[in-house]
Protein backbone atom coordinates (compact mmCIF):
# COMPACT_ATOMS: atom_id res chain seq x y z
CA UNK A 1 0.00 0.00 0.00
CA UNK A 2 1.37 3.41 -0.97
CA UNK A 3 2.39 5.86 1.73
CA UNK A 4 0.76 9.28 1.28
CA UNK A 5 3.49 11.92 1.34
CA UNK A 6 3.74 15.67 0.91
CA UNK A 7 6.79 16.83 -1.05
CA UNK A 8 8.28 20.21 -0.14
CA UNK A 9 11.25 21.70 -1.98
CA UNK A 10 12.11 24.76 0.12
CA UNK A 11 15.22 25.85 -1.78
CA UNK A 12 18.14 27.48 0.03
CA UNK A 13 17.22 27.78 3.71
CA UNK A 14 19.01 28.38 7.02
CA UNK A 15 19.80 25.14 8.87
CA UNK A 16 18.18 26.04 12.21
CA UNK A 17 15.07 27.39 10.51
CA UNK A 18 14.72 24.13 8.58
CA UNK A 19 15.41 22.04 11.68
CA UNK A 20 12.56 23.82 13.48
CA UNK A 21 10.30 23.32 10.46
CA UNK A 22 10.84 19.56 10.27
CA UNK A 23 10.66 19.25 14.07
CA UNK A 24 7.17 20.77 13.97
CA UNK A 25 6.04 18.22 11.37
CA UNK A 26 7.74 15.44 13.36
CA UNK A 27 5.93 16.46 16.55
CA UNK A 28 2.61 16.58 14.70
CA UNK A 29 2.97 13.00 13.50
CA UNK A 30 3.93 11.77 16.96
CA UNK A 31 1.07 13.64 18.63
CA UNK A 32 -1.31 12.02 16.14
CA UNK A 33 -0.01 8.58 17.02
CA UNK A 34 -0.47 9.27 20.72
CA UNK A 35 -4.08 10.33 20.17
CA UNK A 36 -4.74 7.26 18.02
CA UNK A 37 -3.33 5.04 20.77
CA UNK A 38 -5.70 6.69 23.24
CA UNK A 39 -8.64 5.94 20.91
CA UNK A 40 -9.34 9.64 20.65
CA UNK A 41 -11.58 11.02 17.93
CA UNK A 42 -9.95 14.43 18.25
CA UNK A 43 -7.36 13.89 15.53
CA UNK A 44 -6.94 17.11 13.59
CA UNK A 45 -3.60 16.77 11.79
CA UNK A 46 -3.27 14.84 8.52
CA UNK A 47 -1.74 11.41 9.01
CA UNK A 48 0.81 11.44 6.19
CA UNK A 49 4.53 11.75 5.66
CA UNK A 50 6.54 14.72 4.46
CA UNK A 51 9.67 14.75 2.31
CA UNK A 52 11.66 17.97 2.50
CA UNK A 53 14.39 18.85 -0.01
CA UNK A 54 16.63 21.78 0.87
CA UNK A 55 20.04 23.35 0.36
CA UNK A 56 21.73 25.00 3.32
CA UNK A 57 24.20 27.87 3.52
CA UNK A 58 27.55 26.50 4.82
CA UNK A 59 26.98 24.73 8.14
CA UNK A 60 28.59 21.94 10.16
CA UNK A 61 26.40 19.67 12.26
CA UNK A 62 27.45 17.22 14.96
CA UNK A 63 25.27 14.25 15.93
CA UNK A 64 24.31 13.55 19.53
CA UNK A 65 27.01 10.91 20.00
CA UNK A 66 29.63 12.64 17.86
CA UNK A 67 32.94 14.04 19.08
CA UNK A 68 33.87 17.70 18.79
CA UNK A 69 37.44 16.50 18.27
CA UNK A 70 36.38 15.78 14.70
CA UNK A 71 35.96 19.51 14.15
CA UNK A 72 39.50 20.49 13.21
CA UNK A 73 39.20 24.29 13.48
CA UNK A 74 37.71 26.54 16.13
CA UNK A 75 34.29 28.12 15.84
CA UNK A 76 35.72 31.60 15.36
CA UNK A 77 37.49 30.47 12.23
CA UNK A 78 34.32 28.78 10.96
CA UNK A 79 32.34 31.96 11.49
CA UNK A 80 35.02 34.01 9.73
CA UNK A 81 34.61 31.69 6.75
CA UNK A 82 30.85 32.21 6.71
CA UNK A 83 29.91 28.82 8.21
CA UNK A 84 27.83 28.04 11.28
CA UNK A 85 27.89 25.06 13.66
CA UNK A 86 25.15 23.11 15.42
CA UNK A 87 25.08 20.06 17.68
CA UNK A 88 21.82 18.26 16.96
CA UNK A 89 19.86 15.17 17.99
CA UNK A 90 20.48 12.88 15.02
CA UNK A 91 22.70 9.84 14.89
CA UNK A 92 26.16 9.96 13.37
CA UNK A 93 29.14 12.23 13.85
CA UNK A 94 30.10 15.50 12.16
CA UNK A 95 29.25 16.48 8.61
CA UNK A 96 29.01 19.53 6.37
CA UNK A 97 26.02 20.97 4.51
CA UNK A 98 26.28 23.62 1.85
CA UNK A 99 25.15 24.87 -1.56
CA UNK A 100 25.23 22.26 -4.31
CA UNK A 101 24.23 19.49 -1.91
CA UNK A 102 20.80 17.86 -1.92
CA UNK A 103 19.71 17.54 1.69
CA UNK A 104 16.65 15.36 2.21
CA UNK A 105 14.62 15.27 5.42
CA UNK A 106 11.96 12.52 5.29
CA UNK A 107 9.50 12.78 8.17
CA UNK A 108 7.96 9.34 7.80
CA UNK A 109 5.97 7.00 10.04
CA UNK A 110 7.84 3.72 9.60
CA UNK A 111 5.04 1.85 11.35
CA UNK A 112 2.67 2.85 8.54
CA UNK A 113 5.22 1.95 5.87
CA UNK A 114 5.84 -1.34 7.66
CA UNK A 115 9.64 -1.28 7.91
CA UNK A 116 12.30 -1.15 10.61
CA UNK A 117 14.72 1.73 11.15
CA UNK A 118 17.53 -0.37 9.71
CA UNK A 119 15.51 -1.08 6.57
CA UNK A 120 14.65 2.63 6.34
CA UNK A 121 18.32 3.60 6.29
CA UNK A 122 19.01 0.80 3.79
CA UNK A 123 16.34 2.24 1.48
CA UNK A 124 17.71 5.77 1.76
CA UNK A 125 21.10 4.40 0.73
CA UNK A 126 19.53 2.46 -2.12
CA UNK A 127 17.88 5.61 -3.51
CA UNK A 128 21.26 7.32 -3.76
CA UNK A 129 23.01 4.20 -5.08
CA UNK A 130 20.45 4.07 -7.90
CA UNK A 131 20.83 7.79 -8.54
CA UNK A 132 24.61 7.60 -8.76
CA UNK A 133 24.29 4.50 -10.93
CA UNK A 134 22.19 6.42 -13.45
CA UNK A 135 25.33 8.48 -14.12
CA UNK A 136 27.42 5.39 -14.75
CA UNK A 137 29.07 5.43 -11.32
CA UNK A 138 29.20 2.34 -9.13
CA UNK A 139 28.60 3.00 -5.44
CA UNK A 140 27.82 0.81 -2.45
CA UNK A 141 27.65 0.60 1.33
CA UNK A 142 30.48 0.48 3.84
CA UNK A 143 30.17 -2.37 6.37
CA UNK A 144 29.78 -0.81 9.80
CA UNK A 145 29.06 2.67 8.46
CA UNK A 146 26.00 4.39 7.02
CA UNK A 147 25.89 6.38 3.81
CA UNK A 148 26.85 5.77 0.20
CA UNK A 149 30.47 5.22 -0.81
CA UNK A 150 32.66 4.80 -3.84
CA UNK A 151 35.29 2.07 -3.58
CA UNK A 152 34.52 1.66 0.15
CA UNK A 153 36.89 -1.23 0.76
CA UNK A 154 39.85 0.21 -1.15
CA UNK A 155 42.43 1.70 1.27
CA UNK A 156 43.22 5.27 0.27
CA UNK A 157 40.41 5.39 -2.27
CA UNK A 158 37.22 5.06 -0.20
CA UNK A 159 35.17 8.24 -0.47
CA UNK A 160 31.66 9.14 0.65
CA UNK A 161 29.21 10.80 -1.71
CA UNK A 162 26.19 10.78 0.60
CA UNK A 163 26.02 11.02 4.40
CA UNK A 164 23.05 9.74 6.40
CA UNK A 165 22.08 10.61 9.96
CA UNK A 166 18.58 10.16 11.36
CA UNK A 167 16.49 10.35 14.50
CA UNK A 168 13.41 8.24 15.23
CA UNK A 169 10.81 8.33 17.98
CA UNK A 170 7.67 6.15 18.04
CA UNK A 171 8.81 5.00 14.59
CA UNK A 172 8.64 8.56 13.21
CA UNK A 173 11.81 9.82 11.51
CA UNK A 174 13.53 13.15 11.02
CA UNK A 175 16.88 14.43 9.73
CA UNK A 176 18.04 12.34 6.77
CA UNK A 177 20.66 12.43 4.02
CA UNK A 178 23.10 14.86 2.38
CA UNK A 179 24.05 14.02 -1.21
CA UNK A 180 27.01 15.85 -2.73
CA UNK A 181 26.18 16.99 -6.25
CA UNK A 182 28.08 20.24 -6.91
CA UNK A 183 29.29 20.68 -3.32
CA UNK A 184 32.46 22.66 -2.57
CA UNK A 185 34.46 19.82 -1.05
CA UNK A 186 37.08 22.16 0.42
CA UNK A 187 34.73 22.70 3.39
CA UNK A 188 35.27 19.08 4.42
CA UNK A 189 38.93 19.87 5.14
CA UNK A 190 37.78 21.45 8.41
CA UNK A 191 36.46 18.14 9.78
CA UNK A 192 36.97 14.41 9.97
CA UNK A 193 33.85 13.68 7.92
CA UNK A 194 31.48 11.40 9.85
CA UNK A 195 34.37 10.75 12.24
CA UNK A 196 36.59 9.03 9.65
CA UNK A 197 40.25 10.00 9.43
CA UNK A 198 41.24 7.58 6.66
CA UNK A 199 38.45 8.12 4.12
CA UNK A 200 37.56 10.97 1.81
CA UNK A 201 34.52 12.67 0.33
CA UNK A 202 33.44 13.20 -3.23
CA UNK A 203 30.62 14.58 -5.36
CA UNK A 204 28.96 13.92 -8.68
CA UNK A 205 30.74 16.96 -10.08
CA UNK A 206 34.15 15.65 -9.02
CA UNK A 207 33.53 12.12 -10.27
CA UNK A 208 32.12 13.20 -13.64
CA UNK A 209 34.49 16.09 -14.20
CA UNK A 210 31.87 18.78 -14.79
CA UNK A 211 29.15 20.69 -12.97
CA UNK A 212 25.82 18.87 -12.92
CA UNK A 213 22.27 20.05 -13.55
CA UNK A 214 21.24 20.27 -9.91
CA UNK A 215 17.49 20.37 -10.51
CA UNK A 216 17.67 17.36 -12.83
CA UNK A 217 19.58 15.34 -10.24
CA UNK A 218 17.04 16.33 -7.61
CA UNK A 219 14.23 14.91 -9.73
CA UNK A 220 16.09 11.60 -10.08
CA UNK A 221 16.54 11.35 -6.31
CA UNK A 222 12.88 12.20 -5.74
CA UNK A 223 11.74 9.53 -8.22
CA UNK A 224 14.01 6.88 -6.70
CA UNK A 225 12.70 7.64 -3.21
CA UNK A 226 9.15 7.43 -4.52
CA UNK A 227 9.78 4.03 -6.08
CA UNK A 228 11.74 2.53 -3.19
CA UNK A 229 9.33 3.67 -0.46
CA UNK A 230 6.19 3.38 -2.64
CA UNK A 231 5.24 7.00 -2.02
CA UNK A 232 2.03 8.59 -3.26
CA UNK A 233 2.45 12.37 -3.61
CA UNK A 234 -0.42 14.42 -2.18
CA UNK A 235 -1.01 18.17 -1.97
Q: Which long-range contacts (CB under 8 A, 24 or more apart) does 27-32 make?
A: 29/107, 29/109, 29/172, 30/169, 30/170, 30/172
Cα 88 from Cα 176, distance rounded (Å): 12
Which of 194, 217, 225, 231 is an active site residue? 194
Side-by-side strand order, sheet with 59-62: 84-87, 59-62, 94-97
Active site residue 194: yes
Separation in Å, CA 176 to CA 53, 77, 192, 227: 10, 27, 19, 17
162: nearest Cα among 152, 154, 171: 152
51 and 231 Cβ atoms separated by less than 8 Å: yes
Rounded Cα distance, 219 and 85, in Å: 29
Q: Which residues are catalytic?
A: 194
Amino acid sequence: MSYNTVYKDIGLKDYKETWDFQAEIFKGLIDNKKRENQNSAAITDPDHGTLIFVEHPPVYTLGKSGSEENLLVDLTRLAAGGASFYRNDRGGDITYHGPGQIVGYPVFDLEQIGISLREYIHRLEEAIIRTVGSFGITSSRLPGGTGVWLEPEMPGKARKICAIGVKASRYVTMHGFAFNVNTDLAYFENINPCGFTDKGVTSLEKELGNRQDFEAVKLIVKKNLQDIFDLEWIN
